[in-house]
């Protein structure tokens, strides 16, 4: 970033650089290169102060010399004025780009920390947290822990990676407490049911499967788990997790409804969603054997506009019945008495 971008946009709350005349002036042709920026409201950067007490933004334009690296320093959060200064020698960037360094307000492994799962003293690793928060991003994501760096997300890998690996990425967003064995088993069983969703223009807008969600029974037939091992799916904005979604396990691309991006709606077209849901009706029995769980899945298929086909949707006269059977029954009757 140039000094002008830092001072006129990054520090100007509510003023977005993306799509502005200044962006077109500094980066001519950028919008025509296929770039799809998620910045819109000009407030996203300031969310960092929800977790950080000290922030350094170290940046250098690709056409500038290393000695022209700039540092925007917030030494006391939003309580004091930021300082814009030339980078010290050990801060200078060899290549163009931007680094953001933060000092967290809380111990990440402590109570209320970034890596706390919220179930007793259980925590997740930084790699797991980053993968969970960035399940569908279009750039490579590397994490460095205990001195070792590794890639945890490949650009757009959610559309092509092994199904069980995608589900493992999402598995820390579960409905209930489950053992590691149960979670791994669910990933293995559910992975073959993952299907892509493509809109009419061919764009991939989702990869997911139907499961029991909140409508499921307290435990799966024949298993000793305390819960259902079911996962939440997620709706993403720009590949970043925006909100959870029940009954649909996987990733759906979406658009935000609020500036906070905590609520988003999927971009999948109605016809695509309906077709995908009807395909899932044939796949559900592979994942859930008991009729109670299949009925829970059927309600989500119906909510997506799909036909539930041979899945049970009710219990009548000591047996489970399907929507097709109910329809056939009423079609054959001249009169129906309540």
Q: Mean pLDDT over all residues of the chain?
A: 85
99-128 exposure pattern, b = at least 16 Cβ within 10 A, e = fewer: eeeeeeeeeeeeeeebebeeeeeebbebbb
Looking at the DSSP bridge assignments, the partners of residue 251 are: 207, 234
Q: Compute the C-alpha angle 47/89/126, nearest 5°.
A: 40
296 and 197 housed in the same domain: yes
User: Residue 113: beta bridge partners?
Assistant: none
Residues 209 and 278 in one domain: yes
Say whether both 244 and 309 belong to one domain.
yes
Q: CA 271, CA 84: separation in Å to the nearest integer?
A: 51
Check: CB of residue 320 under 8 Å from CB of residue 291.
yes
pLDDT in tens, 65-118: 999 999 999 988 778 888 999 999 999 999 889 999 999 988 888 888 888 876
Q: Is 303 in the same domain as 171?
A: yes
Indicate if 19 and 89 belong to the same structural domain.
yes
In the chain, pLDDT over 70 holds for what percent of residues?
83
User: How crowded is residue 299: how many other Cβ atoms within 10 Å of its Cβ?
Assistant: 18
Q: What is the pLDDT of residue 227?
A: 44
Residue 336 lies in a domain: no
pLDDT greater at residue 2 or residue 56: 56
Same domain, residue pair 31 and 175: no
Question: Which of the four pLDDT bands, split at 50, 70 and 90, describes residue 14?
Answer: low
pLDDT attached to residue 70? 94
Q: What are 119-149's pLDDT values in tens digits?
A: 556 788 899 889 989 999 999 999 998 888 9
| Number of domains within the chain | 2
Residues 178 and 322 placed together within one structural domain of the fold: yes
- Residue 126 token pair: 């930084």
Q: Tokens representing 201? A: 């223009």
- The residue range of the domain holding 215 is 157-331
CA distance 130 to 97: 21
* pLDDT above 50: residue 220: no
Residues 97 and 202 in one domain: no
Cα→Cα distances 322→30, 147, 175, 272, 301, Å: 54, 57, 27, 24, 13
Q: What's the pLDDT tens digit per position in 177-209?
A: 567 787 888 899 999 999 999 999 999 999 999
Neighbours of 62 (CB within 10 A): 8
Q: Is residue 294 part of a domain?
A: yes
Same domain for 173 and 52: no
């Amino acid at each position: 970033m140039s000094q002008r971008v830092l001072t006129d946009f990054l520090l100007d709350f509510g003023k977005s650089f993306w799509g502005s005349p200044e962006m077109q002036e500094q980066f001519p042709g950028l919008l025509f290169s296929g770039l799809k920026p998620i910045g819109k409201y000009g407030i996203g950067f300031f969310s960092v102060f929800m977790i950080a007490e000290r922030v350094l933004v170290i940046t250098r334009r690709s056409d500038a010399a290393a000695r022209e690296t700039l540092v925007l320093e917030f030494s006391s959060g939003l309580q004091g004025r930021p300082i814009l200064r030339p980078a010290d020698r050990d801060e200078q960037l060899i290549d163009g780009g931007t680094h953001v360094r933060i000092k967290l307000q809380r111990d990440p492994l402590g109570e209320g920390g970034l890596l706390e799962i919220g179930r007793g003293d259980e925590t997740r690793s930084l790699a797991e947290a980053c993968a969970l928060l960035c399940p569908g991003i279009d750039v490579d994501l590397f994490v460095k822990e205990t001195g070792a760096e590794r890639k945890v997300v490949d650009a757009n890998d959610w559309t092509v990676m092994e199904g069980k690996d995608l589900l493992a990425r999402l598995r820390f967003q579960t409905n209930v407490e489950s053992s590691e064995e149960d979670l791994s088993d669910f990933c293995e069983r559910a992975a073959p049911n993952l299907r892509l969703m493509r809109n009419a223009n061919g764009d991939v807008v989702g990869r997911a499967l139907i499961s029991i969600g909140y409508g499921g029974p307290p435990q799966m037939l024949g298993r000793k788990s305390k819960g259902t091992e079911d996962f939440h799916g997620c709706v993403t904005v720009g590949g970043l997790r925006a909100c959870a979604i029940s009954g649909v396990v996987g990733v759906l691309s979406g658009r935000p409804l609020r500036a906070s991006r905590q609520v988003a709606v999927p971009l999948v077209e109605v016809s695509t969603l309906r077709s995908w849901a009807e395909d899932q009706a044939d796949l559900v029995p592979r994942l859930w054997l008991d009729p109670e769980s299949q009925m829970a899945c059927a309600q989500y298929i119906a909510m997506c506009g799909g036909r539930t086909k041979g899945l049970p949707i009710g219990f009548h006269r000591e047996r489970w019945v399907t929507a097709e059977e109910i329809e056939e029954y009423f079609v054959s009757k001249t009169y129906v008495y309540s």
